[in-house]
């Protein structure tokens, strides 16, 4: 009994774990509230849909979360997402083999990550400004790819159908392939963040960039890696959006950089860098998707929905900050 308590205490002592637990508690509470409000919410069909709609939020949350841990921010996420959807769809509609299309698309997205990395990591542009620039540029690229039009349907060729299935429609048992793909990506990056040298370096530059540099960390390389991870996540999220619609939309991914911030921050990742766990992003993305889904089912108008979500997000983070500062604690400190 005593030993068990100790390992539990050890678990809770992991920096950032308490915030993660809070976030997951929030997920459970929200689900209970919506289940009580509307019986349709807890139905299997809706819950399955929910798992699928979490995916893009989780993907951009992983990317933004990792960039946040380095102490920076990536505003280009939404635009890269749109670019990814537009480039892949345009190429496929023009008869390019979907696999080749995806490779070209991936290269383009990663290039944006590299540019972000150079601007912020090498030339020390404030990340807000540097990625604001690439955000605008990439949105422009997304529009220009197909001559300022959305693309048509990507067609029913076997590989195109495969894309739709892989990223959105197909499922095995209760699990959509898209959810599996997203979870695999999460596992890979969670592993990198927690068990590899690259992950340690990312935390270190976010915590104290001077100390990290004096400890031999290559700050530029690490910053660029984080931005490339973020670009990769946006690339996949773009494919999910494209697969869902079966076409490329120039508006795809609008505001997703902010959804990424929300998922990361609700999940306990500090925008100041150096702390936070990727497991929290799962909770953060879930909160976001559940709010969207639950409020829609409750027939709340869009405008009202936005207001409510905004308030809840701020409240979540405020609560977490107050808890960390011990303002909610009774007499401790």
Dig out the tokens for 304 from the structure.
């009202």
Stretch that binds another protein, among 205-213, 223-231, 259-267, 311-319 (CB under 8 A): 205-213
Stretch that binds another protein, among 9-17, 29-37, 38-46, 92-100 (CB under 8 A): 9-17
Q: Are 265 and 284 in contact (CB under 8 A)?
A: yes
Q: Residues with Cβ < 8 Å from 224, sequence gap 6 or more? A: 113, 114, 116, 117, 118, 121
Considering the rule CB under 8 A, would residue 201 count as an interface residue with another protein?
yes
d(CA 182, CA 171): 13
Query: Closest distance between another protein and the C-beta of residue 125, in Å?
Result: 20
d(CA 326, CA 333): 7
Look-up of token digits 């601007």: 119
d(CA 28, CA 20): 13
Q: Is 333 exposed, middle or buried (0-12, 13-18, 19+ CB in 10 A)?
A: exposed
One of 3, 4, 13, 147 touching another protein (CB under 8 A):
13
Cβ-based nearer residue to another protein, 73 or 219: 219
Hey, which residues between 15 and 44 contact another protein (CB under 8 A)? 15
Query: Closest distance between another protein and the C-beta of residue 333, in Å?
Result: 12
Angle (CA) 289-316-66 rounded to 5° is 70
Considering the rule CB under 8 A, would residue 271 count as an interface residue with another protein?
no
Query: Closest distance between another protein and the C-beta of residue 4, in Å?
Result: 17
Stretch that binds another protein, among 35-43, 99-107, 120-128, 206-214 (CB under 8 A): 206-214
One of 14, 28, 42, 318 touching another protein (CB under 8 A):
14
d(CA 278, CA 15): 12
Kindly determine how many residues on this chain lie close enough to bind another protein according to the rule CB under 8 A.
Answer: 25
Cβ-based nearer residue to another protein, 204 or 266: 204
Query: Closest distance between another protein and the C-beta of residue 202, in Å?
Result: 11
Q: Residues with Cβ < 8 Å from 226, sequence gap 6 or more? A: 66, 67, 69, 70, 72, 117, 202
One of 25, 211, 311, 315 touching another protein (CB under 8 A):
211
Considering the rule CB under 8 A, would residue 325 count as an interface residue with another protein?
no
Dig out the tokens for 49 from the structure.
């849909």
d(CA 221, CA 204): 13
**How many CB atoms sit inside 10 A of residue 330's CB?**
5
Stretch that binds another protein, among 32-40, 79-87, 197-205, 225-233 (CB under 8 A): 197-205
Considering the rule CB under 8 A, would residue 207 count as an interface residue with another protein?
yes
Considering the rule CB under 8 A, would residue 46 count as an interface residue with another protein?
no
The DSSP output letter for 30 is H
One of 35, 110, 143, 200 touching another protein (CB under 8 A):
200
Considering the rule CB under 8 A, would residue 123 count as an interface residue with another protein?
no
Binding footprint of another protein on the chain (CB under 8 A):
10, 13-15, 195-198, 200-201, 203-204, 207-208, 210-218, 274-275
């Amino acid at each position: 009994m005593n030993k068990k308590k100790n390992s539990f205490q050890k678990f809770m002592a992991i920096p950032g774990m308490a915030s993660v637990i809070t976030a997951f508690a929030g997920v459970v509470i929200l689900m209970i509230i919506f289940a009580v409000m509307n019986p349709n919410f807890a139905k299997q069909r809706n819950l399955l849909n929910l798992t699928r709609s979490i995916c893009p939020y989780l993907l951009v949350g992983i990317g933004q979360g990792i960039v946040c841990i380095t102490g920076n921010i990536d505003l280009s996420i939404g635009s890269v997402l749109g670019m990814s959807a537009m480039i892949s769809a345009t190429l496929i509609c023009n008869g390019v083999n979907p696999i080749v299309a995806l490779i070209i698309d991936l290269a383009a997205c990663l290039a944006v990550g590299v540019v972000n990395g150079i601007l912020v990591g090498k030339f020390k542009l404030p990340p807000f400004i540097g990625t604001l620039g690439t955000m605008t540029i990439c949105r422009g690229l997304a529009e220009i790819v197909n001559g300022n039009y959305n693309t048509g349907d990507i067609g029913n060729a076997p590989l195109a159908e495969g894309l739709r299935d892989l990223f959105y429609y197909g499922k095995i048992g209760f699990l959509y392939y898209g959810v599996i793909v997203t979870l695999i990506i999460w596992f890979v990056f969670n592993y990198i963040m927690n068990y590899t040298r690259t992950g340690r370096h990312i935390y270190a530059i976010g915590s104290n960039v001077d100390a990290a540099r004096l400890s031999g960390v290559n700050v530029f390389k690490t910053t660029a890696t984080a931005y490339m991870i973020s670009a990769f996540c946006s690339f996949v999220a773009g494919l999910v959006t494209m697969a869902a619609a079966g076409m490329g939309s120039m508006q795809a991914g609008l505001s997703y950089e902010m959804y990424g911030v929300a998922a990361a921050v609700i999940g306990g990742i500090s925008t100041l860098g150096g702390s936070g766990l990727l497991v929290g992003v799962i909770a953060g993305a879930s909160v976001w998707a559940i709010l969207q889904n639950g409020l829609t089912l409750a027939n709340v108008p869009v405008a009202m929905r936005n207001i409510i979500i905004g308030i809840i997000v701020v409240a979540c983070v405020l609560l977490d900050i107050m808890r960390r500062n011990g303002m909610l604690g009774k007499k401790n400190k």
